[in-house]
Amino acid sequence: MLAQTLSVATYPSYVMAHHGYMSNIESHGIGFELNYFKQKSALLEKYYPQLDVGHKINYINMGKPDLTGSAFAYIPNLNYRSKSNKLGQVVFQIGLGIAYVSQKFDPFENKDNLAISSHMNVAFQTNIGWQSPLGLKVFGGLSHYSNGAFHAPNLGINILNLGIAQNILKRKVEIKPENDTFSQNKSWYIFGFMASKEASIERQERFYIYGMGLEKKWARKKPKRYWRTGLDINMDGQHGSYNNQNQTSYLPTKIDESIESGLRLGHLWQMGRLEGFADLGFYITSPSSLKKSYYQKIGLNYHLSGAIFIRTDLVSHVFAADYFSLGVGYAL
91, 142, 169, 173, 176 from 41: Cα distances, Å = 20, 28, 19, 10, 7
Domains annotated for the chain, with CATH where assigned, are 2-173 (2.40.160.20), 188-331 (2.40.160)
Q: How far apart are CA 162 and CA 141, in angstroms?
A: 6
| For range 226-250, the mean pLDDT | 76
Question: What is the predicted pLDDT for the residue at 34?
Answer: 96
**More reliable by pLDDT, 112 or 148:** 112
pLDDT above 90: percentage of residues in the chain: 56
Nearest to 231 by CA among 189, 263, 253, 260: 263
Band of pLDDT at residue 299, cut at 50, 70 and 90: very high
Q: How far apart are CA 15 and CA 6, in angstroms?
A: 27
> Given this model, what pLDDT does residue 182 score?
59
pLDDT at 84: 86
Percent helix, percent strand, percent coil in the chain, to nearest 5: 5, 60, 35
Q: Is the pLDDT reported for residue 210 higher than 90?
A: yes
What are the helix and strand counts (H, E) for the chain?
3, 16
Whole-number mean pLDDT of the chain?
Answer: 86
pTM score, whole prediction: 0.80
The pLDDT score that the predictor gives to residue 230 is: 97
Least confident segment among 159-168, 170-179, 291-300, 303-312:
170-179
pLDDT higher than 90, residue 255: no
> Which range among 129-133, 244-248, 302-306 shows the weakest confidence by mean pLDDT?
244-248
pLDDT of 249 reads: 46
Please give the backbone phi and psi of residue 92, each rounded to the nearest 5 degrees, phi first: -115, 135
- Looking at residues 70-75, what average pLDDT do you find? 97
Which range in 30-44, 95-109, 241-255, 261-275 is most confidently predicted, on average pLDDT? Answer: 95-109
- In the chain, what's the furthest Cα-to-Cα distance? 67
Bond prior to 65 in cis (omega within 30° of 0):
no
Predicted local confidence at residue 53, as pLDDT: 84
Q: What phi and psi values does residue 235 have, to the nearest 5 degrees?
A: -120, 110
Q: What values do phi and psi take at 176, rounded to 5?
A: -105, 130
The answer to whether 318 touches 292, Cβ cutoff 8 Å, is yes
Q: Give 174-196 pLDDT, tens digit per residue.
A: 656 555 555 567 889 999 999 99
In the predicted structure, residue 202 carries a pLDDT above the cut 80: no
Amino acid in the structure at residue 275: E
Mean pLDDT of 302-307: 87
**Exposed, middle or buried: residue 304 (CB in 10 Å: 0-12, 13-18, 19+)?**
exposed
pLDDT (tens digit, 9 = 90+) per residue, 29-46?
Answer: 999 999 998 765 555 666
Q: What is the Cα–Cα distance from 250 to 244, expressed in whole angstroms? A: 11
